[in-house]
């Protein structure tokens, strides 16, 4: 019997337009929760996420489909 295992980890980095420092510290928790929800809707899991004033880093575990 064959078993298949997939572990797809993706490092996603994106920034604000023109790298403007628009991500205020008060927005950070809501922003990261929102992005985590989008990943969950895709069937994935946000392993870790963090943001700076001008960009966001996310490590995602995504399904193979």
The DSSP secondary structure of 3-61, one letter per residue, reads -----EEEEEEEE-GGG-----TTTHHHHHHHHHHHHHHTT-EEEEEEE-SSEEEEEEE
Residue 23 has pLDDT above 90, yes or no: yes
| Beta carbons of 13 and 57 less than 8 angstroms apart | yes
pTM of the model as a whole = 0.84
Per-residue pLDDT band at 24 (split at 50, 70, 90): very high
Residue-wise pLDDT for 34-60, tens only, equals 999 999 999 999 999 999 999 999 999
Query: CB neighbours of 30 closer than 8 A, spacing ≥ 6?
Result: none
| Beta carbons of 54 and 20 less than 8 angstroms apart | yes
């Amino acid at each position: 019997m064959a078993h298949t295992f997939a572990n797809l980890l993706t490092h996603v980095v994106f920034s604000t337009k023109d790298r403007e420092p628009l991500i205020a510290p008060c927005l950070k928790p809501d922003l990261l929760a929102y992005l985590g929800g989008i990943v969950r809707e895709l069937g994935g899991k946000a392993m870790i996420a963090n943001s700076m004033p001008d960009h966001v880093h996310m490590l995602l575990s995504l399904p193979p489909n």
